[in-house]
Amino acid sequence: MSSARSSSTLGRILRSASFRLTLFYAALFIASAGALFATVYVTATAAMQTDMAAVLRSEAYQLAEVHSRTGLTGLAQQIARRMNFRTRGPIFYLLQAPNGRVVVGNLPGMPPVNGVVDFVPKADTPAPEVYDEQTKLTGFGLTLPDGSFLLVAQDVARLTDMQHAIVRAFAWAGGLTLLLAIAGGAVLANSFLRRIDAITRTNRVIMAGDLSARIPVRGTNDEIDQLIASLNAMLGRIQQLMDGLRQVSSDIAHDLRTPLGRLRQHLEDARERAKTTADYDAATEAAIAEADELLETFSALLRIAQVEAGAQKSAFAELDLSALARSVGEAYQPAVEDSGHKLDIRIDDGVRLTGDRQLVAQMLSNLVENALRHTPAGSTVMLALRRTGTRFEIDVADNGPGIPEAERGKVLDRFYRLDHSRSTAGSGLGLALVKAIAGLHGLSIELTDRKPGLGVVLTGPAAR
């Protein structure tokens, strides 16, 4: 079992994108190192060959200078001394008389060749302490003025050893690099797969029904952590929407029972008690009124759902918020006077907003209407719009009974109504729609105590 699990893990690592990417970069590095190796190999070989040729040329011309001063006999003596006292490694000499006879040297006779020459010495009885039949030499030949031939040569083993050293160094470096790349790729792939497994496990937990599960983060703030943070935020939003959906379903089931019960009661009364056409008309009117209330509630729910889905964002445009707020306030003046309220409008000019004009107007209307509906006659409702730097503030306040602090956050939920408000008309969806529209436009919403009364403050960035 353990062997099978290890084999499966190894297979996943080898198939992972991070491991393949590591191998790709390792191959790219080795290819680059190969190009560097070729350049170093060729350059170093050429440099050493040039250096060897320069040394041999210098040696040959020094001996030619000796020949010009002391003749063939003096040159032979000088070569013999140098052969006995080598200080720069094995240097081979050949001095041939004009008739081809070898005068002195540790090389066999050969046809005269001027300049640099590479050759393998051929001799019936080679000197084993100096070279063998496979020794490769590079030399510099020079024909002297009296017709004699001088050759100075050196074993190319030094060059070959250097070349082998370069090959070994790059082979070890390349092999070590590949090994480290494979090991590093395996470590990275394993780490990456563990994080993917964490995401997969969380996904399975969520699929099993636990929407509160979240993917753990390492705190390194790398790309995976940033992705996980986005996924967790998305999961949080999904959980919030699902909780809201469950709450809405519960609220609908609870809050629509009363109007549906009244509708059924009216119909039963019509069936059992109505005797005349007027009785049937009255029962029908009552049933229609209850049905209209239900339709209005469902329309409000649908509108909230559409706003929260963000469908209207594609139609956003820059609008004059100051003019819109002023027109909403003026439209409510007759209703304010009829109800015995006072409406105080304080609008700063030049405030602009990017959004949906109809929705923003609906939001302002709901706030003003909510304040008028839940305050007694003689109360004052204020509609204010203030600019604060690059931001603006919408403030709708009243001096009515207000809302207890413990319930301020709840009144923004669907169908929530205070006990003393249940006798007034309405479905409990007005402020929920305000919250949805504010969220769509990126506005923050805060309910404050005005002592007395309630203030609803919306804050957001003004359009430039």
Per-residue pLDDT of the chain (464 residues; tens, 9 = 90+): 455 555 566 666 666 666 677 777 777 777 888 888 888 888 988 888 888 889 899 999 999 999 999 998 998 999 888 888 764 557 889 999 999 899 998 888 889 999 988 888 875 544 444 555 567 888 999 999 999 999 999 888 878 888 888 888 888 888 887 788 777 777 777 777 787 888 888 888 888 888 888 888 888 788 778 888 888 888 888 887 777 677 666 666 666 676 777 778 778 877 777 778 887 778 788 788 778 777 777 777 677 776 766 666 777 888 899 999 999 888 888 888 888 888 888 998 988 988 888 888 888 988 888 888 888 888 888 999 998 888 999 999 988 887 777 777 777 776 665 544 444 555 667 788 888 888 888 889 888 888 888 888 999 888 76
Contact yes or no for 82/73 (Cβ under 8 A): no
Q: Where are the domains of the chain?
A: 19-122+129-161, 211-255, 258-309, 313-461
User: Which of 405, 336, 339, 401 is CA-nearest to residue 375?
Assistant: 401
- Given a contact cutoff of 8 angstroms between Cβ atoms, the answer to whether 455 and 447 are in contact is yes
Order of all β-strands in the sheet with 444-449: 342-347, 380-388, 391-398, 454-461, 444-449
Q: Where would I find the H helices in 340-440?
A: 357-373, 430-440
**Is 19-122+129-161's fold the same as 313-461's?**
no
Tokens of 57: 């040329």
Structure tokens at 301: 């729910």
Task: Identify whether the C-beta of residue 431 lies closer than 8 Å to the C-beta of residue 412.
Answer: yes
How far, in Å, CA of 167 to CA of 175, rounded? Answer: 12
Contact 365, 456 (CB under 8 A): no
pTM of the model: 0.49
**383, β-bridge pairs:** 345, 396
Question: How far is 30 from 17, CA to CA, in rounded Å?
Answer: 20
For strands 342-347 and 380-388, give the pairing. Answer: parallel
What CATH number was assigned to the domain covering residues 313-461? 3.30.565.10
Please classify residue 225 by burial: count the beta carbons closer than 10 Å to its beta carbon, then call 0-12 exposed, 13-18 middle and 19+ buried: middle
In angstroms, the CA 11 to CA 102 distance is: 72
Q: Are 181 and 24 in contact (CB under 8 A)?
A: no
CB 364 within 8 A of CB 325: yes
Q: Which CATH superfamily is domain 19-122+129-161 in?
A: PAS domain (3.30.450.20)
